[in-house]
Chains A and B, each alone.
Chain A
């Protein structure tokens, strides 16, 4: 049957409506989440919230100053450790996957990376517990960072690979053809060309890890108080936003529930801020 122009136009219109609909369905959940989090948590945001430590539940119940400064700082420390560990290793693995496809270790790396990516986050916490917490004899921010690094690592490796693969192969050959060693070609021509993709991949990995509570339960453990020194955050139990959000939410105190919503605002703001900063830092020079 030959379709008339009118029929084709109607089909075109239907497709367009479907696409717009699915776009809305993608955006809507995020907007609902942001709305609920902000409405419920806003009242708990105060000056003290950013300057005081949490302490015991009685503080909140009796209206004494209480806040999440120890959680905010702890999150920064633990996430930074994770980034410092996962970014170089993940980039290296991604470069291996993309630039040395013929290497003997490559198939093994690919299988292992995908397995690690599919592994439940709670198990990664358990691995960090066995590797770091047991030998050190204490829960620590460092152990939490290692656990989160396991979450980030496979994502960074995979996104790095696809970002580098999107750069035409001739760019590499052109670099080699002017007598540059292979590592220099990768570092100075291929990777800068893929900068936006690399950063986006890092951000996806970071956002994923920053929201994980499960791997931290028995690694960084959590803490109601600010350690006396900075080193206490690295070598002792430390609080983080996703985990604190969880403990506040399951606590029996309505005052803490409100603080939990406020912690969610912080976590969202933290991730959005990171995205904004990274976007600004990688904006095209040209």
Chain B
């Protein structure tokens, strides 16, 4: 219960860290080594090496245009769509290179899901079909399985009680905050190991935001989460590990408490104290 209060009460940073476990699960879920992305001639991110730990939330912070999104999109090979983006370096998922020659990006994306800044409800589908789209559209027709997955995912996304009586309604009939949770439910339905979230609450009101933050907290037992946020308080609230990006470089990464209370780099300190960015 104290956990919950921490989420909703107006926060000072000191309060935020009370009761937060300092233990670090040492199992590495994802790792990048010297990861560089070029867009044509310009460099998106340069030489990023980072470890993402199992059952932890990693927050990516930094001013706009610093490469957070570019980095996030390398982790599920979303850059494959943009021909001009060239990725070099290594990205490992459970120790395996995801940019290897024999790797099917579709299978990688089943294991590394993604939630976007704005809700991405499929406009022609019902709430139910939106949630199970990742199963139904690859040919899974088993009704009871789909029902089960739908309920589980909606519960995980804290949306089930609000929509359980109208699963056949169009997904777009939900409010913005509900649609964002619907997008999360859809990402969870395919049972990913890692969930990438690109500013998942930037278009939401404070109430919906706190729901999603609670959700992140509850989910990290089963899913490794990497979240981009411009809200530093949010990063402090939800993450175990924080990475600070600046002009395409990873300036500093460490335990969230360390980054926020005792940053090693001057840039980081300037940013989190609001002196720039």
Contacts and interface: CB of A to CB of B under 8 A. Distances in A.
A104 B82 CA distance: 14
B187 interface: yes
The CB with the most chain B CB atoms within 10 A, among A102, A176, A193, is that of A176
A175 B106 CA distance: 10
A114 interface: no
B133 A178 contact: yes
B134 A179 contact: yes
A178 B133 CA distance: 8
B81 A286 contact: no
A269 interface: no
B183 A180 contact: no
Given A171-B120, A184-B137, A177 B76 contact: yes
Contacts of B84: 102
Contacts of A180: 106, 133-134, 137-138
Contacts of B81: 172-173, 176
B109 A179 contact: yes
Interface string A159-183: 0000000000011111111111100
Interface residues of A, number: 21
Main secondary structure of the interface of A (DSSP, over half): helix
Nearest to B105: A176
A173 B190 contact: no
Main secondary structure of the interface of B (DSSP, over half): mixed
A195 interface: yes
Contact of A174 (B82, B120, B173, B190): B120
B78 interface: yes
Interface string A45-67: 00000000000000000000000
Interface in B159-176: 170, 172-173
Interface stretch (B2-10, B92-100, B110-118, B263-271): B110-118
B74 to A, nearest CB: 14
A188 interface: yes
B114 A173 contact: yes
Nearest to B116: A170
Nearest to A177: B114
B173 A178 contact: no
A176 B123 contact: no
A247 interface: no
Interface in A177-218: 177-181, 184, 188-189, 192-193, 195
B87 to A, nearest CB: 15
Given A173-B78, A184-B137, A286-B173, A178 B110 contact: yes
Contacts of B190: 178-179
A179 B107 contact: yes
Contact of A193 (B82, B118, B123): B123
Interface of B: 76, 78, 81-84, 106-107, 109-111, 113-116, 118, 120, 122-125, 133-134, 137-138, 170, 172-173, 183, 186-187, 189-190
8 contacts: A172-B81, A173-B78, A174-B120, A177-B78, A179-B113, A180-B106, A180-B137, A192-B124
Interface of A: 102, 170-181, 184, 188-189, 192-193, 195, 285-286
